[in-house]
Chains A and B, each alone.
Chain A
Amino acid sequence: MLRLLARRLMSNVPESTVYGGPKPQSPGRRVTLTHLRQKHRRGEPITVVTAYDYPSAAHVDSSGVDVLLVGDSAAMVIHGHDTTLPISLDDMLAHCRAVARGASRPLLVGDLPFGSYESSASEAVNSAVRMLKEGGMDAIKLEGGAPSRISAAKAIVEAGIAVMGHVGLTPQAISVLGGFRPQGKTVASAVKVVETALALQEAGCFSIVLECVPAPVAAAATAALQIPTIGIGAGPFCSGQVLVYHDLLGMFQHPHHAKVTPKFCKQYAHVGDVISKALSQYKEEVENRSFPSAVYTPYKISEADVDGFSNELQKMGLNEAASAAAAAAAGKNEETAG
């Protein structure tokens, strides 16, 4: 009884840690392409959010969002780069694995990062395979609508891997786009958005992300397609929406960062503020020595052992240490008595 009690009072016993991850999934629990198809048929909007690690995945899991995208936006929001280009496939796979440990319910989609799929259809298939095999993902996303990309998408689908397409602003292409520029703002560009979406559907994609295009263009693409569209900065006429975790949570609260929170992103919380306040308060309490108080100092040594310890220290010539131990023990007794 005492031992059970002692175990429960001990923090971080591995058997009771939550980091073992969610319970083994039952086959009926994970969102699948079938579920998404049914939602789309019923006209119910599909929800997508990004996540990049265990805790954010667990949060997304609890929220009931349909699809969790491990985005290459990790290059920016996790790694602090200016673009999505620097992140490698190995980096992405580490993020995917962490996310897979944290989320048992949403459909998991892994972004193929810049440089992992463009040079040939077989490179694309290999990278997609790794996403599922090593990364624990259920599907992959790739950007763009050039003929080589359409072929790559087709090859990946033929390998048995579900593909989410992505047209409009494709951040991996900022080199040719000349920046993070909205697309579909001219007739030619708008037609291209619809055409490439259709081609990707033809290649077997199960859905298409439309990024940063005017609402009418997104509406047209959505109507033209049988598969669902997932919008980001593309207005309300898509079959679903996606946002970046850090942006929607208001993670970046420093005025310096606030400048680049995208205008299309609604901030549903100001988590950055909460974090900053908590860190400041922690710093203050450590500096004025109010943390840790007795309630946060749970580990005890018996009085008899403190005496023995003090004696040993004196024998070692550490008299200051001996009195510090005795004083600390005495102080604690005062605290509990008073």
Chain B
Amino acid sequence: MLRLLARRLMSNVPESTVYGGPKPQSPGRRVTLTHLRQKHRRGEPITVVTAYDYPSAAHVDSSGVDVLLVGDSAAMVIHGHDTTLPISLDDMLAHCRAVARGASRPLLVGDLPFGSYESSASEAVNSAVRMLKEGGMDAIKLEGGAPSRISAAKAIVEAGIAVMGHVGLTPQAISVLGGFRPQGKTVASAVKVVETALALQEAGCFSIVLECVPAPVAAAATAALQIPTIGIGAGPFCSGQGYNEEENVLELKIICERDPSTRCS
């Protein structure tokens, strides 16, 4: 009796630690492509948030958001770089594993980082495989719409891995874009957004992220596609929205700082 009591009074006995992660998932619990398809058919917006570690994954899990993206934005918001370019596939896989331990319900999508998939379709397939095999992800995202990317997306889908496309502002391409510049602001650019989205759909993508394009362009792409679009800085006419959790939290901090009367703690 006393010993049981003593054990309960002791902090951090491993047997009662929760860091063992969420309970083993039952097959019905994880959000799948089927669920997303159903939501899209019913016209229900799809929610996506990024996370990069165990606690943020646990928070996203509890919130009921549909899709958790382990974004290469980690390079900026976790590692403090100016761009998404420096992060390696191994770095990303460490983030993915931590997230997979924390979130049992949302669909897990891992971002292929700059330099891990551009040189050939087979490099792309290998990286995507690692994301699932070593990273515990359910699907991957890759950026861009050049012919080689479309081929890469197709090869990855053929390998049995679900692919989320990404057009508009593609941060890995800031070298050619000349900065984090919104896209689709001219006729030619806007048409290109829609065309590449369609080509990625043709290659087998299950959804497309539209980043930083004007709302009418996002609306057009969303109408032209059968698969859902996930917008970020692309207005309200997408099939769903994506958001960077770290920015969200930072934004809260700024709001708290501006208004001293707000009790934030």
A residues near B (Cβ < 8 Å) are 10-15, 17, 19-21, 53-55, 57-58, 76-83, 91, 94, 97-98, 101-102, 174, 179-182, 212, 233, 246, 251-252, 254, 256-257, 259-260, 262-264, 268-272, 274-276, 278-280, 282-283, 286-287, 289, 291-293, 296-301, 305-306, 308-310, 312-313, 316, 318, 320-329, 332
Distance in Å from the Cβ of B38 to the closest Cβ of chain A? 14
Does B150 interact with chain A (Cβ within 8 Å)?
no
Does B20 interact with chain A (Cβ within 8 Å)?
yes
Q: Which 10 residue pairs are nearest across A and B when measured between Cβ atoms?
A: A80-B54, A54-B80, A101-B80, A80-B101, A180-B12, A324-B223, A279-B63, A328-B219, A12-B180, A269-B265
Most buried by A among B49, B83, B221, B223: B223
**Distance, CA A68 to CA B77, complexed state (A):** 19
In contact, B11 and A274 (Cβ under 8 angstroms): no
Distance in Å from the Cβ of A150 to the closest Cβ of chain B? 26
Distance in Å from the Cβ of A143 to the closest Cβ of chain B? 16
- B3-42 Cβ-contact flags toward A at 8 Å (1 or 0): 0000000111111111111000000000000000000000
Does B227 interact with chain A (Cβ within 8 Å)?
no
Known: A54-B80, A329-B216. Is A94-B91 also a contact (CB below 8 A)? yes
In contact, B17 and A286 (Cβ under 8 angstroms): no
**Distance, CA A291 to CA B231, complexed state (A):** 11
Residue of A nearest to B237 (CB): A328
Residue of B nearest to A275 (CB): B59
Residue of B nearest to A103 (CB): B80
Does B44 interact with chain A (Cβ within 8 Å)?
yes
| Chain B neighbourhood of A12, CB < 8 A | 180
**Distance, CA A306 to CA B243, complexed state (A):** 26
| Chain B neighbourhood of A14, CB < 8 A | 82-83, 174, 179-180
Q: Could you list some 10 contacts between A and B, CB below 8 A?
A: A14-B82, A19-B82, A80-B19, A80-B21, A260-B16, A282-B243, A289-B45, A289-B236, A298-B233, A305-B186
Known: A14-B179, A54-B78, A181-B10. Is A279-B245 also a contact (CB below 8 A)? yes
| Chain A neighbourhood of B54, CB < 8 A | 77-80
In contact, A299 and B245 (Cβ under 8 angstroms): no
**Distance, CA A19 to CA B82, complexed state (A):** 5
Q: For this complex, into which size category does the number of interface residues on chain B fall?
A: 35 or more
Does B1 interact with chain A (Cβ within 8 Å)?
no
| Chain B neighbourhood of A57, CB < 8 A | 80
Distance in Å from the Cβ of A300 to the closest Cβ of chain B? 6
| Chain A neighbourhood of B13, CB < 8 A | 179-181
In contact, B55 and A77 (Cβ under 8 angstroms): yes
Distance in Å from the Cβ of A250 to the closest Cβ of chain B? 9
Does B146 interact with chain A (Cβ within 8 Å)?
no
Known: A262-B11, A321-B220, A324-B223. Is A13-B180 also a contact (CB below 8 A)? yes
Does B204 interact with chain A (Cβ within 8 Å)?
no
In contact, A321 and B236 (Cβ under 8 angstroms): no
Residue of A nearest to B187 (CB): A308
Interface segment, B114-122, B127-135, B155-163, B246-254? B246-254
In contact, B44 and A79 (Cβ under 8 angstroms): no
**Distance, CA A283 to CA B12, complexed state (A):** 34
| Chain B neighbourhood of A299, CB < 8 A | 182, 184-185, 212-215, 233-235
| Chain B neighbourhood of A300, CB < 8 A | 185, 214
**Distance, CA A98 to CA B246, complexed state (A):** 15
Known: A262-B11, A328-B215. Is A313-B194 also a contact (CB below 8 A)? yes
Distance in Å from the Cβ of A63 to the closest Cβ of chain B? 12
Distance in Å from the Cβ of A21 to the closest Cβ of chain B? 5
| Chain B neighbourhood of A274, CB < 8 A | 252, 264
Most buried by A among B14, B20, B83, B246: B14
In contact, A279 and B60 (Cβ under 8 angstroms): yes
**Distance, CA A218 to CA B182, complexed state (A):** 58
Residue of A nearest to B103 (CB): A80
In contact, A313 and B191 (Cβ under 8 angstroms): yes
In contact, B82 and A17 (Cβ under 8 angstroms): yes
Known: A19-B80, A21-B80, A297-B215. Is A79-B101 also a contact (CB below 8 A)? yes
**Distance, CA A160 to CA B14, complexed state (A):** 37
Distance in Å from the Cβ of B212 to the closest Cβ of chain A? 6
B181, B190, B191, B236: the one contacting A293 at CB < 8 Å is: B236
In contact, A326 and B21 (Cβ under 8 angstroms): no
